[in-house]
Amino acid sequence: MSGWFVRSFRHYYAPLAAAALGAKMVEVHVTLSRNSFGPDVESSVTFSELKKIVSGSKLISKSLRNPVEKDLLFSEMGQSRKLFGHSLIAKRGIKKGEILAEDNICTRKPCLGIPVKEFYSSIGRKVNRDLSAMEFIQPEDIV
């Protein structure tokens, strides 16, 4: 590892990145003080940084073991999905025959129209009626 890489990426970022990639174990060098002398001091972590590595790695590991499947969670929530979900709206007035693009649509709560997960699949589709600014876009509004 080059000295530049160690200096610019030292401390606890690499071990946390390794944990995020699924590493079960990492090796770090610990120093009592950044002012100590020795070849490994510059790339070593302090005890407070070691504590952050341990707690961060535990949190990352727990997160990896417990993924959140939002679609499943929302389907179990029923009406809450509409309340907390986002849907597509007209960012400005859109005329009949105009093409949906990132500059004329955005998303807002509640989910009273096309769900946000269909944002990119809606880009490039034509509007079959005039839409007002901030109006929720319905599936039947696009072809």
Q: What is the pLDDT of residue 37?
A: 86
pLDDT digits (tens, 9 = 90+) for 23-57: 888 888 888 888 888 888 888 888 988 998 999 99
The helix-helix angle for 13-20 and 47-65 (nearest 10°) equals: 10
Location of each CATH 3.90.1210.10 domain in the chain? 70-141
CB atoms within 10 A of CB 90: 22
Residue 92 has pLDDT above 60, yes or no: yes
Q: Which CATH architecture has domain 70-141?
A: Alpha-Beta Complex (3.90)
CA distances from 15 to 27, 34, 41, 74 (A): 8, 19, 17, 34
* Mean pLDDT, range 4-27, rounded to an integer: 74
pLDDT at residue 4 above 50?
Answer: no
Q: Report yes or no on whether pTM surpasses 0.85.
A: no
Structure-token pair, residue 107: 């998303």
